[in-house]
Amino acid sequence: MLSLQEISDRLEIQDLVVRYADALDRLDFDLLDQVFTPDAFIDYTALGGTAGNYPEMKAGMPRSFKPFGNFQHLVANHEIRLQGDTATGRVMCLNPMGAAGEPATQDLRLNGIWYNDTYKRTSDGWRITTRKEERAFVFYFPVRS
């Protein structure tokens, strides 16, 4: 049976992963300071993005998201393995990325992703220390205006 501590840790790590998605989807990039450790390493290369440490990745995000109007990062299938004050995780993300502009003139891009993560318990709560994207698929759907 899971202990209360383990259940609490799992729920707090789920909160963390939802916070990441919410920060991106609301374009509230400062909120990511409550998601990543300052020295976190992020790798988006599997879907054509960049890789680097958190501060530089955060600085590049406004430009990366500019071509897109509407999007969501739906996270599910969260597998979390606790090891005391650290943990690893694998999280599915279904991510429709709509093009900017109205009416939409470009295809809808649907990304199927896994995040392969490590987490650390800090004095401010759980944080992501590494996040590496793994690609399942990228589909482009034609959109009617």
Partner 1 sequence: MLSLQEISDRLEIQDLLVRYSDAIDRRDFDLLDQVFTPDASVDYTAFGGAAGVYPEMKGWLARALAKYDGYQHLVANMDIRLAGDSATGRIMCLNPMGVVVGSTTGEIGVCCLWYIDTYRRTADGWRIATRTEERASTWKVAART
What is d(CA 110, CA 100) in angstroms, rounded to the nearest whole number?
15
Nearer of residues 8 and 122 to partner 1, judged by Cβ: 8
Q: Which residue of 77, 86, 105, 122 would you call a contact of partner 1, by CB under 8 A?
A: 77
Q: Is 144 in the site for partner 1 (CB under 8 A)?
A: no
**Rounded Cα gap, residues 140 and 109, in angstroms:** 5
Considering only residues 92 through 121, tell me which ones interact with partner 1, judged by CB under 8 A: 92, 94, 107, 110, 112
Q: How many helices and strands, by DSSP H and E, does the chain display?
A: 2, 7
> What are the backbone angles phi and psi of residue 76, rounded to the nearest 5°?
-155, 180
Nearer to partner 1, 53 or 116 (CB): 116
CA angle 131, 23, 63 (to 5 degrees): 80
Q: Which of 145, 138, 34 is nearest to 93 (CA)?
A: 138
Tell me the window of 16-24, 34-42, 77-85, 97-105 that interacts with partner 1 (CB under 8 A).
77-85
Residue number, 34 or 45, with CB nearest to partner 1:
45
Reading the block at residue 22, the tokens are: 């919410």
Does 76 sit near partner 1 (CB under 8 A)?
yes
Sites of contact with partner 1 (CB under 8 A): 1-2, 4, 7, 10, 74, 76-79, 90, 92, 94, 107, 110, 112, 135-142
